[in-house]
């Protein structure tokens, strides 16, 4: 998942946008969702209309009209506005294509459950919450401040590394030429292995291949890079889209 402008959660697997404050939730249509995900994963790049039509409509892009494309982008912008984001989050560059606005801040987001304190009132009533020494409070506050500062430094250092959470993928082969990684958003990796078997050209020598699949949209994205994009911000990557269940 992604957090946009520290306000809106974007879940591409469920095609969903949710405002953190108001709770307003919008469901995106599949082509708009795929186009938005592509723009988010290619910040700073101008993506042509033809390329986005391939991303959003796949094999049907040849019969998709420009009017259908414009309608999908208009619907996407309306959805962004409804959840509190600027309409120009998806920005038009005249005669060149679309891009994610430079003012848009995107972070990887992993929701966690809030801890539940059982019988809190009973514990307080029984005197379980005791006064802590001042030195302990000061020490704890100092350590917390140091942790926050270090965390901020590390965050700034790594926030632009979109594949940092990907984990190695094992195909059972001892002769594979490339290094494979996948986003841990699904429990089954069989469709990745099948994709690599059907498209051996993806795994060339010294390549780094990052795979992410969305079972509900039945699509797999393969990001093929010349260096380890988890650590190297200058790595050059190309993106390839496939049907998850192709034979």
Confidence of residue 133 (pLDDT cuts 50, 70, 90): low
Write b or e for each residue in 155-188: b if 16 or more Cβ atoms lie within 10 A of its Cβ, otherwise e: eeeeeebbbeebeebeeeeeebebebbbbeeeee
Q: Which helix (H) or strand (E) holds 236?
A: none
3-state DSSP assignment of residue 135: helix
- For residues 69 and 66, give the distance between their C-alpha atoms in angstroms, rounded to a whole number: 5
Residue 224: CB atoms within 10 Å: 20
Strand spans (E) along 15-164:
16-19, 25-27, 90-93, 97-100, 106-108
Q: Quick one: pLDDT at residue 129?
A: 44
Backbone angles phi, psi at 168, to 5 degrees: -60, 145
Alpha carbons 239 and 34: distance in angstroms, whole number: 13
What are the pLDDT digits (tens) for 30-50? 999 999 999 999 999 999 999
| pLDDT digits 0-9 by tens, 191-211 | 888 888 888 888 888 899 988
């Amino acid at each position: 998942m992604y957090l946009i402008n520290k306000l809106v959660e974007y879940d591409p697997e469920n095609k969903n946008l949710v405002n953190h404050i108001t709770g307003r939730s919008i469901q995106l249509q599949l082509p708009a969702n795929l186009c938005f995900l592509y723009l988010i994963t290619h910040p700073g790049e101008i993506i042509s209309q033809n390329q986005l039509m391939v991303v959003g409509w796949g094999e049907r892009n040849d019969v998709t009209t420009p009017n259908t494309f414009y309608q999908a982008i208009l619907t996407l912008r309306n959805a962004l506005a409804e959840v509190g984001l600027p309409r120009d989050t998806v920005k038009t560059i005249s005669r060149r294509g679309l891009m994610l606005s430079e003012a848009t801040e995107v972070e990887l987001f992993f929701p966690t459950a809030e801890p539940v304190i059982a019988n809190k009132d009973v514990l307080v009533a029984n005197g379980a919450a005791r006064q802590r020494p001042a030195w302990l409070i000061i020490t704890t506050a100092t350590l917390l401040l140091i942790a926050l500062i270090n965390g901020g430094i590390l965050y700034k250092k790594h926030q632009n590394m979109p594949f940092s959470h990907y984990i190695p993928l094992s195909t059972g082969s001892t002769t594979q030429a490339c290094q494979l990684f996948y986003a841990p958003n699904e429990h089954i990796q069989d469709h990745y292995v099948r994709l690599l078997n059907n498209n051996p050209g993806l795994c060339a020598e010294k390549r780094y291949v990052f795979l992410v699949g969305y079972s509900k949209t039945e699509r797999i994205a393969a990001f093929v890079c010349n260096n380890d994009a988890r650590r190297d911000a200058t790595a050059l990557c190309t993106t390839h889209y496939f049907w998850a269940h192709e034979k």
